[in-house]
């Protein structure tokens, strides 16, 4: 089963996503695809907090900040995967050590599609950043358009699509595994 | 009349095409520089028309066809803009969408390409 969670920040997406992926994993392997690439001590501290909060939950961590399908080389495709978040992954693809890539959206969308098709169970977490009243600069607007492309492509691939509002699931497609 | 809203880039026009058979040649996108094409069956980006109105001290009007399929970006969930024009635009757009929605027979919200029926 494939699930996409999106919604506003701090609305409980990750908690529902963790619950879902654990229900899907059963006795099989449970993977956490860690997308953050640390740039400073603040990032490293944040990662440490995330690792500690996942400790004891049974996750095997796969660090993959870019070229996300490569994480499958080190995993059993019949397992259950949690990718949190599509937002961070796209950001890494768009702004890397090679500079700014305006076409990162198409590349990330293609990789995410392949990942969704190959993994037996996978849960994606994205962020809904499309309903504010700004006239943004070109970089921000390109990023918003690219993330929306990833979201729409994943929504098509996934069995279940959920918007999370104050920890409550609004189901646009399918159903939850718990 | 049908009104389709949702965040930016969510697939509102694709939904209009799929659900209501709107052809690409029927779609008229509003601009920030003038009035919409009132005679068109499908008018998109109503928020841009409201921007034009706010910039020029006009009140946005609803002179759309009875069988019109309209789309507009939801621009209401961010921080209150510092800029006075953007602030007025956000509020005026909210009021305009409410008027359009009350006239519409059907109102949809599109999220990641998927529709939710609001009316």
pLDDT for the residue B43: 98
Helix (H) or strand (E) holding B115: strand B114-117
In a domain, residue A178? The reply is no
What pLDDT, on a 0 to 100 scale, did the predictor assign at position A97? 86
d(CA B38, CA B36): 6
Which residue in the set B11, B75, B79 is minimally distant from A152, CB to CB? B11
What parts of chain B have a pLDDT lower than 50?
none
Cβ A130 vs Cβ B7: under 8 Å: yes
Structural domain count, chain A? 1
For chain B, the domains span: 2-117
A97 part of a folded domain: yes
- A106 located within any domain: yes
Instruction: Judge whether B52 and B31 are in contact, CB under 8 Å.
Output: yes
Identify the domain containing residue A165 by its residue range: 2-173
Other CB atoms closer than 10 Å to residue A29's CB: what's the count? 15
**CATH code assigned at A87:** 3.40.50.300
Task: Tell which wins on pLDDT, A7 or A53.
Answer: A7
Farthest CA pair distance, chain B: 40
What is the distance between the alpha carbons of residues A52 and A30, in angstroms, rounded to a whole number? 16
Q: Which of A125, A178, A118 is nearest to A150 (CA)?
A: A125
Higher pLDDT, A43 or A121: A121
Check CB contact under 8 Å for A133 and B7. no
Q: Chain A: residue nearest B89 by CA?
A: A133
* pLDDT at residue B111, as a whole number: 97
Omega prior to A85 cis, within 30 of 0:
yes
Reference A65, options A111, A10, A25, A128; nearest CA is: A111
Is A38 contained in some domain?
Answer: yes
pLDDT tens-digit series, residues B82-103: 899 999 999 999 999 999 999 9
Chain A residues within an 8 Å CB radius of B82 = none
ipTM above 0.90, yes or no: no
Whether A112 contacts chain B with CB within 8 A: no
As a whole number, the mean pLDDT across chain A is: 94
- The CATH number of B2-117 is 3.40.50.300
Which of these, B18, B24, B21, lies nearest to B44 by C-alpha position?
B24
pLDDT at B10: 97
Is position A16 within any domain?
A: yes
pLDDT exceeds cutoff 90 at A43: no
Tokens of A57: 């939950």
- A134 touching B, CB under 8 A? yes
Model pLDDT for residues A53-94, shown as the tens digit of each residue: 787 889 999 999 999 999 999 999 999 999 999 999 999 999
Give the model's pLDDT for residue B77.
87
């Amino acid at each position: 089963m494939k699930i996409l969670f999106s919604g506003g920040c701090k609305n409980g997406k990750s908690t529902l996503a963790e619950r879902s992926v654990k229900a899907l994993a059963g006795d099989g392997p449970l993977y956490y695809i860690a997308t953050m690439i640390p740039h400073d001590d603040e990032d490293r501290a944040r990662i440490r907090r995330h690792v500690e909060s996942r400790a004891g939950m049974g996750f095997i961590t796969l660090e993959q900040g870019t070229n996300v399908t490569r994480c499958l080389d080190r995993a059993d495709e019949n397992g259950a995967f949690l990718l949190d978040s599509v937002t961070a992954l796209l950001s890494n693809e768009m702004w890397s050590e090679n500079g700014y890539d305006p076409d990162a959206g198409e590349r990330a969308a293609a990789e995410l599609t392949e990942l969704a098709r190959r993994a037996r169970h996978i849960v994606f977490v994205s962020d809904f950043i499309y309903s504010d009243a700004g006239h943004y600069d070109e970089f921000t607007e390109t990023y918003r358009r690219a993330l929306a492309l990833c979201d729409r492509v994943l929504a098509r691939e996934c069995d279940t699509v959920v918007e999370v509002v104050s920890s409550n699931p609004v189901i646009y497609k399918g159903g939850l595994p718990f | 009349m049908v009104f389709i809203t949702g965040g930016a880039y969510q697939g509102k026009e694709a939904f209009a095409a799929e659900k209501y058979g709107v052809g690409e040649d029927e779609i008229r996108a509003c601009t920030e520089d003038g009035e919409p094409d009132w005679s068109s069956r499908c008018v998109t980006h109503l928020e841009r028309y409201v921007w034009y109105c706010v910039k020029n001290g006009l009140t946005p009007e609803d002179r759309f066809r009875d069988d019109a399929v309209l789309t507009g970006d939801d621009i209401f969930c961010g921080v209150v803009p510092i800029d006075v024009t953007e602030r007025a635009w956000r509020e005026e757009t909210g009021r305009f969408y409410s008027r359009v929605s009350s006239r519409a027979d059907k109102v949809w919200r599109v999220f990641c390409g998927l529709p939710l029926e609001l009316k």
